[in-house]
Amino acid sequence: MELGRRAGIETAETRLLALGSRKCLLVKRFDINDAGGRNHLISMQSLLKAEGYYYAGYRDLAEVIRHVSALPGRDLHKLYRQMVFNVMIGNTVSNLASQISRRFQGPSLCFR
């Protein structure tokens, strides 16, 4: 998470907590807003209507962003940054279910 943050990727807030001789990673939930309510989220898997074992790439995600995002230029830049980061660190578990769009107040969708 820290490496992603340093690479300019939005990540959840984290903190490492010492518990005796062990450590625990605390991750702030991004689906809960400051008022304690739920943020509305949808996965790229749902937006692509992909079921079961799916084959989709960053090109497919970019197409969804072009169609649903109120700020596609910004969101495509975020996707590109995430794609390059995943390649550079050898992340092989980035999947459609973990790529989400977050709906803020109003009609905008933002890639996260």
Alpha-carbon dihedral of residues 62, 6, 33, 69, nearest 10 degrees? -20
pLDDT (tens digit per residue) in 62-90:
888 888 888 888 889 988 998 899 889 99
Q: Which domain holds residue 69?
A: 2-111
The b-or-e profile of 64-98 (16+ CB within 10 A means b, else e) is bbeebbeebeebbebbeebbebbeeeeeeeeebee
Average of per-residue pLDDT values in the chain: 80
pLDDT (tens digit per residue) in 22-57:
999 999 887 888 898 888 777 777 778 777 666 777
Number of domains in the chain: 1
Phi-psi region of 90 (alpha: psi -120 to 50; beta: other; left: phi over 0): left
Residue 18 has pLDDT above 50, yes or no: yes
pLDDT at 16: 94
Confidence of residue 112 (pLDDT cuts 50, 70, 90): very low
Structure tokens at 46: 């749902």
Specify the higher pLDDT residue, 102 or 14: 14
pLDDT at 98: 65
Confidence of residue 19 (pLDDT cuts 50, 70, 90): very high
pLDDT at 106: 40
